[in-house]
Structures are given as structure tokens and as C-alpha cells.
Amino acid sequence: MLFEDLKPQVIHILKDNDKPVTDRLYLICKLFKDNIDYYDWVGFYFKNEDKEELKLHTYVGEKTDHVIIPFGKGICGQVAVSNENFVVPDVQAQDNYIACSLTVKSEIVIPLFKNGENIGQIDIDSEVSDPFTEKDERFLEFVNQEVAKIL
Ligand code: SME
């Protein structure tokens, strides 16, 4: 499915104020995993209170042991510090990488800003090599901007 077709569905899910935020974020993860064939694991991490670490909030895909990730560790931890998108075409080429599953080949992590502060991120793992383009980045930036509005 095209990203442009998913955008109105993202907005529709997020505006359902009768549902808890966690449920809405879960539906976003599920929407992406179900409709984008190379999105195999989709999750949101957020800064864990005042600690220098990320905590897994909501995800769809294989269960992961990496519920807590210290700032600076792995792709996610690096994005928590850099405030920059991180696109990894080949996870095996990364030194500072936390493996969740042996089948994962690539990853994209996009920071989520609220009032200019990096408070979390969306993380996608793919079992396809080098699938992510600038279109994924622009789409996921849009998603994070919309999510920030309900936080
Ligand atoms: N691979 C990530 C860890 C999180 S899992 O992908 C769910 C990383 O290197 O930070």
C-alpha cells in the first residue's frame, strides 16, 4: 500500500480519543506491519522517565528482550543522542547494533519530537536487505509528528 493511502488511516487511528494512547499506537504498528510488506517489526520506544535510557512502549512483531536500551547503545540508543534519522541498509555492517532476531537484515529509526525535545522514536526492522528510502523517512517523520500531537 502507498504511504499516501496510509496517512489518512494514521490520522483516523490517532484521533480516536476514546481509546488509550497505547492502544492507538498499537494500531499504528499493526497497520504498518499488515500493509507494508518489508516492515516486519514495528515499535515505539520512549525515554524512560528521567533516565538516560529508552523503554519499549508498544510493538508488533517478534517478542524482543530489548525492552530497555541505554542511550548510546544500538541504533535506537544512538538516535536518542543524535536526534537524527538512522537508516541501516545492512545491520551486519554496524558495530553498535543490538540484534533482536537473526532474521533481521535492515532497520530504520526515526526520532519523535515533542515541543522540540527528542522523547522517543519509531523503530522498524526488516527481513529484506536495504529496503528503506527517503520515502520511508518522510512518511515516518509525518507519523511521528502526528503521534506527538496526542502525547
Ligand atoms: N536493533 C535495535 C534494538 C531494538 S530491536 O530492533 C527491536 C538497536 O540496535 O538499537
Mean pLDDT computed over 92-98: 97
Ligand 1 atom at shortest distance from the alpha carbon of 73: 10
> Which of 63, 73, 76, 126 for a ligand 1 pocket mutation test, highest count of atoms within 8 Å of Cβ?
76
Instruction: State yes or no: pLDDT of 1 exceeds 80.
Output: no
Give the mean pLDDT of 108-134: 98
Give yes or no for residue 97 CB within 6 A of ligand 1. yes
**In this structure, which amino acid lies at residue 112?**
L
Q: Which domains does the chain have, with CATH numbers?
A: 2-148 (3.30.450.40)
Question: In sequence order, which residues have a C-beta less than 8 Å from that of residue 4 and are 6 or more positions away?
Answer: none
Given a contact cutoff of 8 angstroms between Cβ atoms, the answer to whether 60 and 84 are in contact is: no
When pLDDT is cut at 50, 70 and 90, the band that residue 100 belongs to is confident
- Residues 25-83 pLDDT 10s: 999 999 999 999 999 999 999 999 999 999 999 999 999 999 999 999 999 999 999 99
Q: Which amino acid is at 37?
A: D
* 3-18 average pLDDT score: 97
DSSP state of 100: S
148 lines ligand 1 (CB under 6 A): no
Which of residues 32 and 102 earns the better pLDDT score?
32
CA distance 94 to 21: 33
Length of the chain: 151
Query: What is the Cα–Cα distance from 77 to 39, expressed in whole angstroms?
Result: 20
- φ, ψ of residue 42 to 5 degrees: the values are -130, 125
Residue 47 has what pLDDT? 98
Average pLDDT, the chain: 97
